Amino acid sequence: MPAADRPQDRPFHGIWSAVLTPLGRTFAPDHKAFAAHARFLLDNGCHGIAPFGTTGEANSFSVAERMAGLEALVDSGISPATLMPGTGCCAGPDTVALTRHAMSLGCKGVLMLPPFYYKNPSEEGLYRAFSTVIDRVADSRLRVLLYHIPPMSQIPIPHGLIRRLDDAFPGVIAGLKDSSGDWSSIEGFIRAFPELAIFPGSEQLMLDALRIGGVGCISATCNINPHGIRAVFDAYVSGSADTDDLQAKATAARQALQAFPVIPAMKRLIAERRKMPEWEQPRAPFLPLDDAAWTTLDGVAAECGYLV
């Protein structure tokens, strides 16, 4: 492939874990376990960590809790160059505060949801929301990856909005995470914006995306299959004949997990395998995985080779 097209040469690329947020017995974030898990993921194949996204239950935590969790990662010795926290909130001032905080710690970039409570906003309204945040953060280091997840947010990010933001803030809009699960959407972003780093939100579509200019994936399943997902990326980069087989294996592992409530399932798996029962708890409205589902997941995990 031409050097300019190689994903590993792009500023944002690779396998990023949409990392889980462990809770202690009081249901507050457990900073020690959080940092240990982030280090485990980096040591086992992840290029970076995306804390406080959908998988991290971000919208169940306060601004103060999210800031403290991010500080805990950096204070533990994790390089901020490997961190891309979620900062998008319904309230613009909260998004500004979280984004400024991430920049103050030296994070590589931020993953930003649109304001998502009020539905059917105009493109102009979304433009003003994002542009106001960028103007108020006012940091030349700021790099934003827009977060397109219409199944959850119900607020799609249209191409016209991306073009306006990219034109108005050159270099600030660095890319986009597409968690729509729709290949036509991912393909459309990659072809329309070759200058941006487009990440599928699932490894299932990563190889297809890499082949047309995508840069990797930001995936929940990296919490339990970092080595398997990284193997696909590395095989593609090296031109290995095993690339399609490795992708098929990673896809099968993802699809097996999706038979369960994904966040509670991964938390229960880590709790059981690491003998850390406190890991089992999500924050309400999620509930822990029940014992009957765990019995099935235990067998699935052994078959898929999940690494926890």
Tens digit of pLDDT for each residue in 14-39? Answer: 999 999 999 998 999 999 999 999 99
Tokens of residue 253, six digits: 């592992």
* Catalytic-residue membership of 54: yes
Residues listed for the chain: 308
For residue 1, name the pLDDT band (cuts at 50, 70, 90): very low
pTM over 0.75: yes
Specify the pLDDT at position 65: 98
Does residue 82 register a pLDDT over 50? yes
Specify the pLDDT at position 77: 98
* Mean pLDDT, the chain, whole residue set: 97
* Catalytic-residue membership of 236: no
Specify the pLDDT at position 298: 97
Specify the pLDDT at position 157: 98
* pLDDT, tens digit (0-9, with 9 covering 90-100), for 280-293: 999 999 999 999 99
* Catalytic-residue membership of 21: no
Specify the pLDDT at position 190: 98
Specify the pLDDT at position 124: 98
In the set 21, 87, 99, 177, the catalytic residue is 177
- Which domains are seen in the chain, by residue range? 12-260 (3.20.20.70)
* pLDDT, tens digit (0-9, with 9 covering 90-100), for 152-184: 999 999 999 999 999 999 999 999 999 999 999
What percentage of the chain has pLDDT greater than the value 70? 99
Mean pLDDT of 104-116: 98
* pLDDT, tens digit (0-9, with 9 covering 90-100), for 52-77: 999 999 999 999 999 999 999 999 99
Does residue 132 register a pLDDT over 60? yes
Residue written as token pair 């070759």? 194
Does residue 3 register a pLDDT over 50? no
Distance CA 115, CA 225 (A): 31
* pLDDT, tens digit (0-9, with 9 covering 90-100), for 241-267: 999 999 999 999 999 999 999 999 999
* Catalytic-residue membership of 306: no
In the set 32, 117, 118, 296, the catalytic residue is 117
In the set 21, 54, 55, 82, the catalytic residue is 54
For residue 239, name the pLDDT band (cuts at 50, 70, 90): very high
What percentage of the chain has pLDDT greater than the value 90? 97
Specify the pLDDT at position 135: 98
Does residue 4 register a pLDDT over 60? no
In the set 55, 87, 147, 236, the catalytic residue is 147
Distance CA 21, CA 279 (A): 9
Tokens of residue 259, six digits: 């038979």
